[in-house]
Structure formats: structure tokens, C-alpha cells
Amino acid sequence: MFKYLSKDVPASLVVFLVALPLCLGIALASGAEPIAGLIAGIIGGIVVGMISGSAIGVSGPAAGLAVIVLNGIQTMPSYEIFLLAVVVGGFVQLMLGVLKAGIIGFYFPSSVIQGMLSAIGLIIILKQIPHAFGYDAEPEGSLQFAHDATHNTFSELSYMMDMLQPVAVAISAAGLAILILWEMPFMKRLTFTQFLPGSLVAVMTGIGLHLVTRDGALGLGADHLVQIPKIVNGWSDVVRLPDFGAWNRSDVWILGVTIAIVASLETLLCVEATDKLDPEKRVTPTNRELIAQGTGNVLSGLIGGLPITQVIVRSSANIQSGGKTKLSAILHGFLLLGSVFLIPNLLSLIPLSSLAAILLVVGYKLAKPAQFKAIAQQGARQFLPFIITVLAILLTDLLVGIGIGIVAALLVILFDHFHQPIIDFEVDDEKKLCIIHLGEDVTFMHKVGIRKVFESVPRDFKMVIDAKRTVRMDADVRLIINEWLDSARAGGWDWTVENGEDNPSRSRPLAKFARKLGANRG
């Protein structure tokens, strides 16, 4: 784990700088105290990082759970009872991991995962532009499109022009310039850039510009800076224990199971996405990841933190910063822990516009135009679910958008089955012979295609249905074939079924049945 120390340490600094405002912002968006978000970030980094099998995934409080957490905190009689629901959710996740439910992650279509990555990249860009201009009304970490009737992702872009802060613009512009400079090939060849991340230089530059201008008329107020909660009495200001006396409340169990399911889905989605981004193409053991997340959520609930998932923004920042092993995630957790107690005053000098510059670069790398072009070149089957997922996530939220994307991918598959029947067939015009080769699996989705083939064969042709390769055939398809056999016999049409009998239900092996039909007919 210490083999890539020179890579993991700088990456952990970048992830720490990205995670800090996100932990605080997600806590505020969830209706919790800021310290609850930091607790979740610390446990997500240290505890989950140690148990997880993901080399470059980073865990912490997630925007996708903000609405559920907000409703839970508002409806529960006390925050301590809400924490009990978090503990319950953690135990449920542990059980899901033990039961090997992590396999669900392998069933997400790749086009939808790619759409999720690009959509999150676009959301990061759209959400961070206002912060870059000094309009900080929306908490960091929000992924929701609409917040009320008048405020949504796009409306904030117009409101920001009325609240523009020149110093914030200068800070974000300077940060972007530094980050772009650090990406230049000649800079990468310089030794000091190997251990001094451009993100850290951008943040320190932002702090310097803020200190120089803060006493002037255009200086940034506290609401434009990272706001670290004050800890006066040590751990007593931080730790809040769950109310175990509420263990028999049904709403606690319902909320706990809801948190477990949503957190597990978001984690599995992130694992799939992170593995795709990993330059070394390592595969994360998903069941172990659920166990790690469940352990983290139990501990987070026990000491007052928010629910935890693996999160794509921090994970992608880790990858883009050169993180190689789980050490970068673990170190970022220790940096969060130390910063809260040791340097809260220094952290409170960081302008949000400086962090916006870092996140804008992260967003661009997730949503590069080249990515859209590459997927478009793969054809409509890949591009339609991809772009639908992107738009759905942009206009709703992460999980709703993913659901819409999966439905779109399934509809594309159904469309293919209806319009490209899985049958191979040969037509010999001289012998007036048509042979239809059925495949191993013939399902109800092939009904339309099979019927079209039957209808296209002239009545004076001999029809041979080759079902020797068929292993499984739905009753709906058997019914169609039997109906056509009866019709052929009644009309004197020469039909033969090559499977030993005229009854397709007795057929053994069908399999490449329909994929090439369109090509053969063309």
C-alpha cells in the first residue's frame, strides 16, 4: 500500500480539499449540523477506506441521500433517533454484503454508467460556475436540479450576475490558470510538480488573494469562505449518540432500510463508474464494498454522523490527481480529522471560489466533449441510453436519472428484439425453399419478428423450421408456430419442423436464430 506514497500523498491533499466543502455543504443540504458531514467524511476515509477493496474509491456523505436524510431528520422526534436509523441502515448493508447482493452492480448498462459520469461532470460545472463568480447561495455538494419554484440549476446562472464578486472571479480565474498550467507537459517534467499538487497551489493562491483584499470594499465576507464549525470542548462538541430506546419504532426501521437500499445502489453505481475511470482497470469486489460501507454507516450513526456511500466526485478527483492505492483515501480521512481540531482557522480562510476552480476541472474531465463524440460513434443503441441518462440526471437527481436511463436501455433492447428478430433464414428462389434457423433462446420478445418472417414467405415456397438447436422457447412463440402450422396444413402449404416432431415444444437446441435476419433479408 506504501509503494506509491509519492503519488498517494499529493492525491490525498487534493481529495481533502475537494471533500472538505462537500462534507459541510451536504450536511447543510441535509438539514444536519456541519460537524455531522465531517464525521461521515472522516469515517468514510479512514474506516471504509481500510476495509474496502477499492483501490481508488473514496467514501463520505453523498448528495444522493440528502433528500432522504432531510426528510428523516425532520420527521423523527429527535436527531438521536435519526442516528439509530443510520445504524440500522448500516447493519442492513452488512447483511446485503454477506448475502452477496453486490452482484447487482454488474447489471447496470455501461451506457448508463457513462451517462452518469458525464452528467455528474456537467452538474459539477453548472453548480460551480456561480461559486466561481462569488454567488454562494446554494450549499456545496448539491446534485438536485430544482430547489423550489424559482431556484434551479439554470436559474442560479442568471442570479449570479446580480451578485458577482470581482475578488471571487479573480481567485477562481487564477486557480483555473494554475490548474491548466500544471497539466502542461513541460510542467509535468519539473520535479516539484510531482509532489506539489496544482490544486494546493491554487488554494494557497486563493487564500493569499483573499488576505490581500479582505480589508477593502470588495473583500469577501465569511459566507464566501469555507465555514468550519467551532469545537471548543473537544469531543463533547462532536459526538452525539443514537437513542437506542427507539429500537421498536417502525419508522426507524423503514428509514434504516431505505437508507441501506439507496446508499447501496449509489455505492454500486459509483464502484462501476470508478472502475471504468481507473487507469489500471482494477475490479472492486462489490460484496466487500457493501460490508465496508455498512461498517462505516454503523460507526457514523453511533457517533453522530450522516450516512456514507462511495462518491464519484471525490473518487474521480482522486484518480485525476494520480492516486494509486487506497492509502490516498485513508490519508484524506486523517487530514479531515486533523484539520478540524488543529487548523480550523486556516481552513476558514479558503474562498469557495478557489475550490470551485478545482471542481470545474474535475467536472470537465468527467464530461469531455470527446466522450460524447466517442459514444455517438458507437451507434444509437449506446448513445440513446447515454444521452437520456445525462439529461435525466441533469433535470432530476442522480438516482431518478439512473432509473430513467436503465428504462431507456431496456426499451432500446426491446426495440431491437421487435425490429431485428433473432432468426437466421435462407431463401433458395430456384428450389422455392425457405429454411428458418431458430436459436437456443426464443422468447416472447421475438414474437413480432417471427411473425414478420412467416408473413414474408410466399405461399408456393416450401417452409422448413429448423429448431434442432433450441433449448428454451416461450409458450407464446410455440403458440404462433403451431397456429401457422395449422394454417399451412389447412391451406395445403408445405411446412416442416426439423426437430423430430411437428411440435415445437419438444424442440431441443434453437440459438443464433434471429440476429442476422436483417442482414440476410437485405
Within a domain: residue 452?
Answer: yes
Read off the pTM: 0.77
Residue 367: which residues within 8 A CB-CB, separation 6 or more? 117, 118, 119, 120, 121, 122, 125
Same domain, 375 and 433: no
User: Could you tell me if 346 and 251 lie in one domain?
Assistant: yes
Does 198 share its domain with 291?
Answer: yes
User: Based on the domain organization, do 159 and 277 belong to the same domain?
Assistant: yes
Domain assignment of residue 418, yes or no: no
Q: Convert the pLDDT of each residue in 317-345 to its tens digit.
A: 999 999 999 999 999 999 999 988 888 88
Percentage of residues of the chain with pLDDT beyond 70: 91
The confidence score (pLDDT) of residue 286 equals 94
**pLDDT score, position 423:** 61
Reply yes or no on whether the pLDDT at 234 is more than 80: no
Cell numbers for 135, please give them: 454567488
Q: Which of 190-204, 219-233, 342-356, 434-448 has the lowest mean pLDDT?
A: 434-448
Domain annotation covers residue 133: yes
Residues 269 and 374 in one domain: no
* Cβ contacts of 282 within 8 Å, gap of 6 or more: 55, 56, 275
Q: Which of 413, 448, 481 is the last residue of a domain?
A: 413
Higher pLDDT, 121 or 519: 121
CATH of the domain at 430: 3.30.750.24
CA distance 478 to 90: 48
More confident residue, 477 or 183: 183
Alpha-carbon distance values, 91 to 42, 217, 296, 516 (Å): 19, 53, 10, 49
171 plus 215 within the same structural domain: yes
Choose from 89-103, 234-248, 330-344, 469-483 the range with maximum mean pLDDT.
89-103
| Cα separation values, 324 from 69, 202, 320, Å | 32, 22, 10
Does residue 97 fall inside a structural domain? yes
Residue range 423-447: average pLDDT?
Answer: 76
**Residue percentage of the chain with pLDDT more than 90:** 49
Shared domain for 158 and 191, answered yes or no, is yes
Question: Is residue 419 one of the residues assigned to a domain?
Answer: no
- The whole-number average pLDDT for the span 168-174 is 96
Give the chain's mean pLDDT. 85
At 419 the pLDDT is 57
Contact 300, 40 (CB under 8 A): yes
Residue 386 has pLDDT above 90, yes or no: yes
- Same structural domain for residues 458 and 350? no
Does residue 212 sit within a domain?
A: yes
Question: What is the tens place of the pLDDT at every residue in 475-494?
Answer: 778 888 888 878 777 777 77
pLDDT surpasses 70 at 446: yes
With a cut of 50, say whether residue 61 has pLDDT above it: yes
Residue 88 clears pLDDT 90, i.e. is over it: yes
Among 167-171, 213-217, 227-231, the minimum mean pLDDT is found in 227-231
* Confidence category of residue 422, pLDDT binned at 50, 70, 90: low
Same domain, 374 and 459: no
Full domain range(s) for residue 449: 424-521
Q: Which pLDDT score, from 0 to 100, does residue 235 have?
A: 65
Q: Specify the pLDDT at position 58.
A: 97
Residues 171 and 117 in one domain: yes
Enumerate residues 6+ apart whose C-beta is below 8 A from 368. Answer: 121
pLDDT tens column, 24-41: 888 888 888 889 999 999
Residue 206 lies in a domain: yes
Category of 304 on φ-ψ map: left (φ > 0), alpha (ψ -120 to 50) or beta = left
Domains in the chain, number: 3
For residues 512 and 457, state if they share a domain: yes
State yes or no: pLDDT of 369 exceeds 60: yes
Predicted confidence band of residue 519 (pLDDT cuts 50, 70, 90):
very low
Q: Is 117 inside any structural domain?
A: yes
Residues 387 and 434 in one domain: no
Average pLDDT over every residue of 416-435: 71
Is the per-residue pLDDT at 511 higher than 50? Answer: no
